[in-house]
């Protein structure tokens, strides 16, 4: 009888240990799923704001191209940069796994941002264009979208950091790979982002050379 109770007790202890193990593994898996979904949701937000900017550009180009003698090379640069962005296909609902793909995507988007910044600088030479309500509305929408891009990219990086921390933490690190969870890449900080940009308006004023009148 005593042996039966002892065996029953051992089986009970094993069952409890297995239950604790299953619950622990289940908790780890659920936490990884939650972090992954949070990250994917934020990636979708990043894609949304980038798409919003891409949708504004055709109207902007059409509005600006109507200005007499406007620099056509600036519009060509923007059109080509937008086309380059469209050639990079990433799943809009799932955070990218490949750092090289994300870097390529970021480079194309940053080039488009630079082209738009240069266009807004050039527009300073066209007060009549700046005065039109259509251009002012587009400019305000673009500036607001650029700000949202910066915010959403930062939020995405924060979500990736939380996810990666979970994936690499002990003891999750031993189970994450088994469940198919791998670390994800971040958006890289833009070069020179630590200092405010210096914008100069060169409106044809002759430049002076040091040492010369």
Mean pLDDT across 158-180 = 92
Establish if 134 belongs to a structural domain. Answer: yes
Establish if 153 belongs to a structural domain. Answer: yes
What's the rounded Cα separation, in Å, for the pair 65 and 47?
Answer: 27
Q: What pLDDT does residue 162 have?
A: 96
Q: What pLDDT does residue 122 have?
A: 86
CB under 8 Å to 104, separation ≥6 — which residues? 88
Mean pLDDT across 87-108 = 94
Establish if 186 belongs to a structural domain. Answer: no
Residue 125 belongs to a domain with what CATH number?
1.20.1440.20
Q: What pLDDT does residue 97 have?
A: 94
Establish if 212 belongs to a structural domain. Answer: no
Establish if 34 belongs to a structural domain. Answer: yes
Vertex 31 angle, CA 42 and 152, to 5°: 10
Q: pTM above 0.85?
A: no
CA 168 and chain centroid, separation: 22
Q: Per the structure, how many domains does the chain have?
A: 1
Q: What pLDDT does residue 203 have?
A: 33
> Quick one: DSSP state of residue 124?
T
* Nearest residue to 187 via CA among 110, 93, 82: 110
């Amino acid at each position: 009888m005593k042996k039966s109770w002892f065996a029953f007790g051992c089986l009970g202890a094993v069952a409890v240990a297995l239950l604790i193990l299953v619950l622990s593994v289940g908790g780890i898996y659920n936490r990884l799923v939650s972090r992954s979904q949070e990250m994917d949701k934020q990636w979708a937000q990043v894609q949304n704001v980038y798409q919003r900017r891409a949708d504004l550009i055709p109207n902007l180009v059409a509005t600006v191209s109507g200005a007499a003698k406007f620099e056509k090379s600036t519009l060509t640069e923007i059109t080509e940069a937008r086309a380059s962005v469209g050639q990079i296909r990433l799943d809009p609902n799932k955070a990218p796994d490949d750092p090289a793909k994300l870097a390529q995507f970021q480079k194309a988007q940053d080039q488009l941002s630079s082209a738009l910044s240069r266009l807004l600088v050039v527009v300073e030479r066209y007060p009549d264009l700046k005065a039109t309500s259509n251009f002012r509305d587009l400019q305000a929408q673009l500036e607001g979208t650029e700000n949202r891009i910066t915010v959403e990219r930062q939020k995405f990086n924060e979500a990736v950091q939380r996810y990666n921390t979970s994936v690499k933490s002990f003891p999750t690190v031993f189970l994450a790979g088994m469940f198919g969870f791998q670390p994800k890449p971040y958006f890289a900080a833009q070069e020179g982002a630590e200092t405010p940009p210096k914008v100069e308006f060169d409106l044809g004023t002759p430049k002076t050379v040091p040492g010369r009148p």
